[in-house]
Amino acid sequence: MSEEENINTGENGFWSDENKKNRKPEKQPGVAGEILSWLAMVAIILAIIWALTHFVIVNARIPSGSMENTIMTGDRLIGTRFTYWFDGPKRGDIVLFHWPVDPDTIYIKRCIGLPGETVTIKQGKIYINDSKTPLNEDYLKEEWVTENDGYVFHVPKDCYLMLGDNRNNSQDSRYWAQVALDEGVANDEKDAQKYTYVKKSQIMARAWFRYKGGFKVLTNTAHYN
């Protein structure tokens, strides 16, 4: 036994009679102390969960079919808030955000247009700026036939254009200006245009993976042919 161990445990490696006399009995925690300790542990766990769900991740349930077949009605997913702390969405990201027309409503759509870009929708194809090549959107549910032509969007600074993957049944940036007018949120047609786009400050999180409805990583898949 080493000298250090003798110092810690008593001379010659065991407790002397004098040490035994001077040793105070350990206090056993009472029932009240155990309850307080348990409540403190629960409070700490709840505080951690609250911090995670309010600042780090989003746990969301999908209420509609606007993102089919990428995400189905009733699916549940996890989104990451921290993805956009220092940068904005990339084209193709699936994004959770506060709907511009009614910020209390949370939407999930795919980011198509980035700040400063011109996005043209022509015969069911999307063209960015002056590109002659359309985006390859192999994530679309089916052939896009509804409201698929004659749109030109000039995305403002610090804003994003959002569309659903189920283009034939998705309330997205194509419609929001008219909805703002119809619901009296916008004063006139010019004022209504600002509700077409999602501001950076309105974005909550990037969808990361689906855990109910079959595990699926929600990757960025928008690209040119």
Q: Please give the radius of gyration of the chain, using alpha carbons only, rounded to the nearest integer.
A: 29
Predicted confidence pLDDT, tens digits, the chain (225 residues): 444 333 333 344 444 555 555 555 555 567 777 888 788 787 777 777 666 666 678 999 999 999 999 999 999 999 999 999 889 999 999 999 999 999 999 999 999 999 999 999 999 999 999 899 999 999 999 999 999 999 999 999 999 999 999 999 999 999 999 999 999 999 999 999 999 999 999 999 999 999 999 999 997 776 554
Burial of 154 (0-12, 13-18, 19+ CB in 10 A): middle
In Å, how far from its chain's centre is CA 160?
Answer: 16
What are the two backbone dihedrals, phi and then psi, of residue 80, each rounded to the nearest 5 degrees? -110, 115
Strand locations in 114-180 (E): 118-122, 125-128, 135-136, 151-154, 159-163
- For 152, the 3-state DSSP assignment is strand
Q: What is the pLDDT of residue 21?
A: 54
Residue pair 148/121 in contact by the 8 Å Cβ criterion: yes
Does the annotation mark 132 as catalytic?
Answer: no
What are the two backbone dihedrals, phi and then psi, of residue 86, each rounded to the nearest 5 degrees? -120, 0
Q: Which of 197, 195, 194, 221 is nearest to 207 (CA)?
A: 221
Q: Of the residues 20, 24, 66, 131, which is catalytic?
A: 66
Q: pLDDT tens digit string along 165-188?
A: 999 999 999 999 999 999 999 999
Dihedral sign, CA of 162, 65, 125, 92? positive
How far is residue 178's CA from residue 184's CA, in Å, rounded to a whole number?
Answer: 10
Amino acid at 17: D
Predicted TM-score of the model (pTM): 0.77
How far is residue 68's CA from residue 171's CA, in Å, rounded to a whole number?
Answer: 13
In Å, how far from its chain's centre is CA 165?
Answer: 17
Dihedral sign, CA of 118, 139, 81, 177? positive
Q: Of the residues 16, 27, 37, 109, which is catalytic?
A: 109
CB atoms within 10 A of CB 125: 16
Does the annotation mark 24 as catalytic?
Answer: no
Amino acid at 160: Y
